[in-house]
Chains A and B, each alone.
Chain A
Amino acid sequence: MIRLTRTQVKIAERILATIPLALGVAIVAFVFMRAMPGDPVDIMMGEGAWTSEEEMAALRDEMGLDEPIHAQLWAYLKRVLAGDLGYSMIRSRPVAEIIREALPATIELAVFSLLFALAVGIPVGVASALKPNSFVDRAGASLSLLGVSLPAFWLGIVGVLIFSMTLGWLPTSGRIAYDAQPAHITGMVILDAIITGNLPALGNALKHICLPAVTLGLGVAAVVARVTRSSMLDVISADYIQFARAKGVPEGEVTRRHALRNAMIPTVTLVGLQFGSLLGGNMIVETIFGWPGLGRVVVDSIFARDYPVVQASVMVYALTFVLINLATDIIYTVLDPKISL
């Protein structure tokens, strides 16, 4: 028999605990969608003339919408547990297929926003911590607060007007040009381009992701900068850093080797938390940039009352959120063995 360590048991427990949570989320989403006024069949039929009540009733019957709510819920849960997410009411395709198609785009965007946030946030945070109350610090703080307080849709459109229309550097929207597509492997075009060594595709995809990623990542960059700054400040005043300084270790090395490494621990935790919110918070950015991701699917489906799609997407979001939190907790214990799960 395999003996598991205490940590492994804890991790297994946490993973198992996501199942009831996912079911809970599914139930809430189910009830929530039914509580919303509006009827998917009615919305799908639009304005067509000569649409009889019988015809609509027949469609409702086909979709199982005329059953009592609890029976629908029960049937839904049974299907979900069997791994069947159902069939979209509007898009006439299996929900699993819709999600499989849209999720990679959303993950790709979230990852790049995060990379951008780290690339900007950490240097700004470190610089402000090294010279607190200096000009760099003040400017960094102000800029990062602006980053948090400007609505993404405003930033996005300003970006398009400046970088696409005026300067002509970046495309306005979309994910990759048709004639530059790499072979389909993972569905994440940038990753696919790297795997296949397709440099033109990579360049094209990177150009496309720039604006949406920056728009989405700016707020996170601000938070990263603030957290890095405050944890840097804590670490710098710590005894072992003072000790290293006293020993005559050059200042640059102190910063790099000792301070930064330790200051990164809270930033890593933060990254995990923010990744979840990036995944779930990209609906508006996706709409502006015509980015074919899950966020747009969800918003569109909620307005179309496409129940199965919304329910399944909400579950995917919730599971991702929980699993990423778990992953950061694990990384945290690796970085700092004093902490247990």
Chain B
Amino acid sequence: MKIRTTLIIIVIAILAVPGFVPAALGTSKGQLSVIIDTESIRADEAQAIAHNLRAIGVSADVRIWEWSALKERIQAGERQIYLTDWGSAYFDPFDIVVPKFLTGDRGNYTGYSNSRFDAALNQALLAVDADVRKDAYFDAQQILFDDAPAIFGYSLTEVEAARSDVLNWQPSMDSRVNLHDVGLARGDTIVVGLYADKVVTLDPAAYRDRPTETVIRNMFDALVTRTWDGRVVPEIAEGWRAVSDTEYLFKIRKGIKFHNGDSLDVDDVVYTFDRVLREAGMGGRTSPRQGLLGPVEKVEKVDAYTVRFVLSAPFPVLPQALVHFQIVPRKHLERVGDEAFAREPVGCGPFRYVEGRLDDRIVMERFDGYYGGSPMLPPVATAQVKRAIFRMMPDPTVRVAALKTGEVHVIQSVPAHLVSALRRDRNIQVKSVEGTRVYFAEMNCTRPPFDDPKVRRAMNYAVDWDTILRTIYAGNATRLSTAFLPSGFGFNPDLAPYKYDPARARALLTEAGYLTR
């Protein structure tokens, strides 16, 4: 036999086998057929969902995308079901439910629109009275639950781990790694393995992402800060007072020093906010954080230790928002310029910058002139450790390996399947906090089949979240009834999530006119 013939026969034999070439899924007439889109990180979950949907006679398949590419197609209304998530920083539905489900808002990928829901949200946003806001959010929650624009999912518990010789360590809900209070039983340098490829900048006005904020907040302080479980407490400010719905006064603590020795005063505070609010305020560029200040119109000096925030509309979450605006030294920044400042930042936080590379590691040292931080967060003193290093460690397996070998002391985001093994390790302590990010599978409500709420509810009944969360996420997750977070304002604990009920799902699908095999 000729060799070429042999090879050609092999090739033909392979191609001739029926079903060898992965073909499109066969769909019988009248059967519902969907494609679930996801980023690779949630591919497992997407397949489990597809498996659940197939069990009720829906032909379901999964596609893995690069996020930006997928997002553009979602926004063009071309996709069907897509696994997405959205994080909240303000502990209020303001920055999670509003952008996700308010008609036409920036994060509204489902095309969901319900005027009753919008009215309830708007009422909650503009009211200052807490009870009115809460009632409005309760209404909104019920409407959202019934309309089910998404297969509502869960929030992941943030699991972090540290070597057992790290003292007084507590992960916080806003995924901040606060090294001020942390001590070491042995040694004086603490190393943190960040779940990040890079930090974007060291300038508190020039970023929008969490890892950057985590690093920056160890070198800079803000007017207010948060306890690990999300309460807002004063930091640079001694206290604050709402004069009206649209005017707030903040009193500044005396005797705070920046790392270069300058004293912090009201001018620094005014300058910090002015830099963010002003067009091209950051050395010719506009701060990407501008929008985070919402309706804040201007920030002005009242006297040497008082500053006034003037708003164009009520903004009840202002104190929550101010946690994320770190104060910069005006005189120093004006002298060295924005670019040099980002390279060698000077703040008033517990650590001062030593050296670093944004995609490698950032090294900082204890600032001995530190005022002690928020009196509500003991110990009120300089940092316990002499030096802190943040290392970028994008690979989860390597991060855990580095913790086990002792190369790093603290790591973020422990992979779910390793949590129990790490808990058994005597050299390691594992702690978790409730997450502030909502995960769900959104549906395209603008087009059949998901323009029909019956079908959307059927999807919600069809997915066996309990099993998915127990296995794939090893139980480190909280099932949610809607997109409202338990930690956020206005959460209704009595609204139970959709139960896993395939029979009911089938019934709903049949009612909507689809065959369920």
Contacts and interface: CB of A to CB of B under 8 A. Distances in A.
A303 B68 CA distance: 7
Which residue of A37, A92, A160, A164 has the most chain B CB atoms within 10 A of its CB atom? A92
Contacts of A289: 395, 398
Contacts of B360: 174-175, 290, 292
Which residue of A39, A53, A90 has the most chain B CB atoms within 10 A of its CB atom? A90
A51 interface: yes
A157 B399 CA distance: 11
A229 interface: no
A159 to B, nearest CB: 10
B402 A173 contact: yes
Interface residues of B, number: 57
A59 interface: yes
A161 B359 contact: no
Contacts, number: 143
Contact of A164 (B290, B358, B361, B405): B405
B341 to A, nearest CB: 11
Interface in A88-120: 90-93, 101-102
B208 A48 contact: yes
Contact of A160 (B99, B106, B398): B398
Contacts of A292: 357, 359-360, 392
A114 to B, nearest CB: 23
A243 interface: no
Contact of B392 (A37, A92, A290): A290
A63 B412 CA distance: 33
B38 to A, nearest CB: 16
A90 B402 CA distance: 29
A203 interface: no
A23 interface: no
B290 to A, nearest CB: 6
Contacts of A92: 200-201, 203, 206, 285, 342
A36 interface: yes
A135 interface: no
B201 A178 contact: no
A46 B68 contact: no
B98 A49 contact: yes
B422 to A, nearest CB: 13
B386 to A, nearest CB: 12
A142 B202 CA distance: 50
Interface string A32-48: 00001111001111111
Interface stretch (B22-30, B69-77, B467-475): B69-77
B288 A157 contact: no
Nearest to A49: B95
Contacts of B402: 164, 171-173
B488 interface: no
Given A47-B87, A58-B286, A62-B286, A38 B69 contact: yes
| Chain A, interface residues (CB within 8 Å), range | 35 or more
Nearest to A299: B197
Given A90-B200, A91-B200, A290-B392, A50 B361 contact: no
Interface in B31-83: 66-69, 71-73
A303 B40 CA distance: 13
Contacts of B197: 287, 296, 300
B86 A303 contact: no
A305 interface: yes
Interface of B is mostly: mixed
A287 B393 CA distance: 8
Interface in B382-424: 389, 391-395, 397-398, 401-402, 404-405, 407
Contacts of B294: 49-50
B279 A58 contact: yes
B184 interface: no
Contacts of B286: 58-59, 62
B209 interface: yes
A323 B90 CA distance: 52
B401 A165 contact: yes
B292 interface: yes
Contacts of A288: 395, 398
A64 interface: no
B99 A290 contact: no
Interface string B327-365: 000000000000100100000000000000111110100
A277 to B, nearest CB: 23
Which residue of A49, A161, A174, A305 has the most chain B CB atoms within 10 A of its CB atom? A49
Contacts of B94: 49
Contacts of A300: 197-198, 359
A296 B292 contact: no
A164 B401 CA distance: 8
Given A44-B288, A50-B292, A38 B208 contact: no
Contacts of B86: 47
Contacts of B107: 47
Given A46-B209, A55-B290, A165-B405, A102 B68 contact: no
A39 B203 CA distance: 23
B63 to A, nearest CB: 14
Nearest to B394: A287
A93 B98 contact: no
Contacts of A58: 279, 286
Contacts of B90: 49
A281 interface: no
A37 B68 contact: yes
Contacts of B201: 91-93
B393 A38 contact: no
A186 interface: no
B87 to A, nearest CB: 6
A52 interface: yes
Interface string A43-79: 1111111111101001100100000000000000000
B68 A305 contact: yes
A59 B288 contact: yes
A303 B59 CA distance: 31
Contacts of B357: 101, 292
A51 B401 contact: no
B200 A49 contact: no
15 contacts: A36-B68, A43-B68, A44-B208, A46-B209, A47-B87, A48-B289, A50-B294, A59-B286, A164-B401, A164-B402, A172-B407, A178-B189, A290-B392, A296-B197, A297-B359
Given A165-B401, A303-B67, 6 more contacts: A43-B68, A62-B285, A101-B357, A172-B402, A178-B361, A290-B395
The 9 lowest CB-CB distance pairs between A and B, nearest first, are A38-B68, A49-B95, A292-B360, A37-B72, A51-B291, A172-B402, A37-B69, A172-B401, A92-B206
